[in-house]
Structure 1
């Protein structure tokens, strides 16, 4: 999360930081809408999907990872 602010600062000073914050806020709001959640407090483990990582090139078995 901190990098977004730094990128905004480097690209546009205070206005760039403000824009980075606006982008992050919009993305969080959109994601919450897609999840059917109205408040951050309503988010829980049920909103996290575990992905199965494919086996590596070295033949290691695949394992579950959290996004």
Structure 2
């Protein structure tokens, strides 16, 4: 993946989730995001590391 900044719409498509899920992960699960003016921007490599660390996993499933 290139080193360019991705928008909420792009990162949602990249991860296969909704924009609402992305906003929720920013607020509740520390999704690596950077605020640029009014917009959230993402680096795919940072998000990949976050996913691989299990941060996107459902909390209920973690306890099983």
State the TM bucket, normalised to the shorter chain: under 0.3
- For normalisation by structure 2, the TM-score amounts to 0.24
Asked which structure has the greater CA Rg, the reply is 1
Structure with greater helix percent: 1
Flag the structure with more relative contact order, 1 or 2, with Cα contacts below 8 A and sequence separation at least 6. Answer: 2
TM-score (norm. length: structure 1): 0.23
